[in-house]
Chains A and B, each alone.
Chain A
Amino acid sequence: MSFFQVQPSHFLGLAAILFATGTAAVLLRKNALRIFMGIELMLNAVNLTLVTFAKIHGGLDGQVLAFFVMVVAAAEVVVGLGIIVAIFRRKGRVPAGATAVDAASVDDVSALKG
């Protein structure tokens, strides 16, 4: 039964769907943390394609590349979350009279202007 015969295109198609879901999260969410999670999802989809191509070509280079992507993602998360916390420190206070708003919303990125 070819449905249960795993082909390379199955993995690549799955990675495409995951990447698109991550893109949707980046484009449509307002919370900076959730946008960040979308970026993580996109990175993981790319990792899946790299590992799939490693098996297609019969070498381990793709896996080493995916390993590097993971390292870069870890560094990126550290810096990115640091920036989000720094923005929150500047903008996190709820103005008097206003209802509690999402402190990490990207609508407030003008905070970066200083």
Chain B
Amino acid sequence: MAEGVVFWLAAIASIGSAVFMFLARDAVRAALGLVMNLFALAVLFVLLDAHFLAAVQVIVYAGAIMVLFLFVIMLLGVDRADDLTERLKVQSWLAVPLVFGLVAITYLSVRGAAATTEFAGLDEANASGNVEGIGRLLFNEYLFPFEVTSLLLIVAAVGALVIGKRRRASRTDREDEDA
């Protein structure tokens, strides 16, 4: 019962904030909607016995990633109006029915696949704690993917550095910046 109440509150909050993110006037409001959505998802993760992921969701997603988003939004200027002139009219006309079709298809497949299933529950897997269970899996069965992940992060960091680096100011570049 209490679980159901928490679920429905979190579900309404997450859908509401997602729609707000979609409809919001400017990028800052959209980002705040997304933060709210990430918090609601963290609540749902707790309901699903994924305590470690709920903490990571708040710290990494709502903390680090969204701060990065807001940083870039502020860098690019918040006072600029959203450009609403549509140049690809066909796409926007097609997108609405396609999105509703996506909802219908996923809902039908979910109903077909999982309408009758019940939770097996994680009491056994979480017996010695959720963090310990994930750690055991991560450093035994998933050790190789985990190491590849470190490589991915290094490549991403170096790539961002290369993309973001200003070229040593040649004359043309300096003219560009002055203009």
The contact size tier of chain A is 35 or more
Residues of chain A from 1 to 46 with CB closer than 8 A to chain B in the complex: 1, 3-14, 16-25, 27-31, 33-34, 36-38, 40-41, 44
A-B contact count (CB 8 A): 251
What residues of chain A lie closer than 8 Å to B4, measured between beta carbons? 1, 3-6
Q: CA separation between A2 and B84, bound complex, in Å?
A: 44
| Interface assignment of B172: CB less than 8 Å from any CB of chain A | no
Task: Pick the residue among B69, B134, B159 that contacts A37 (CB under 8 A).
Answer: B69
Q: Point out the residue from B19, B52, B99 that lies within 8 Å of A63, measured CB to CB.
A: B52
Q: In the complex, A97→B31 CA distance in Å?
A: 31
Interface residue A81 (Cβ < 8 Å from any Cβ of B) = yes
User: Are A64 and B77 also in contact (CB < 8 A) when A8-B114, A23-B102 are?
Assistant: no
A66 to B57 alpha-carbon distance, docked (Å): 10
CA distance A99 to B80 in the complex (A): 9
Given contacts A60-B125, A64-B142, contact A79 B163 (CB under 8 A): yes
How many residues of chain B are within 8 Å of chain A by beta carbon? 92
Let me know if A78 and B18 touch, CB within 8 A: no
Q: Are A56 and B117 in contact (CB under 8 A)?
A: yes
Whether A74 and B65, one on each chain, are in contact in the complex, defined by CB atoms closer than 8 angstroms, is yes
Assess A64 versus B121: contact at CB under 8 Å? Given A11-B48, A27-B91: no
Report yes or no: B76 in contact with A4, Cβ–Cβ below 8 A. no
Interface flags for A87-112 (1: CB within 8 Å of B; 0: not) read 01000110000011111110100000
Q: Give Cα A64–Cα B91 distance, bound, in whole angstroms.
A: 37
A–B Cβ pairs within 8 angstroms, 22 of them: A4-B4, A6-B3, A6-B7, A8-B119, A9-B110, A17-B103, A21-B19, A24-B96, A27-B92, A37-B34, A51-B44, A55-B50, A55-B121, A55-B122, A63-B134, A64-B138, A70-B57, A72-B152, A100-B80, A101-B83, A102-B80, A103-B80
- The 7 closest A-B CB pairs, nearest first, are A4-B4, A58-B120, A75-B156, A16-B106, A27-B95, A102-B83, A82-B160
Excluding A16-B106, A38-B21, 6 further A-B contacts by CB distance (< 8 Å) are: A9-B110, A9-B115, A41-B34, A48-B44, A61-B141, A104-B76
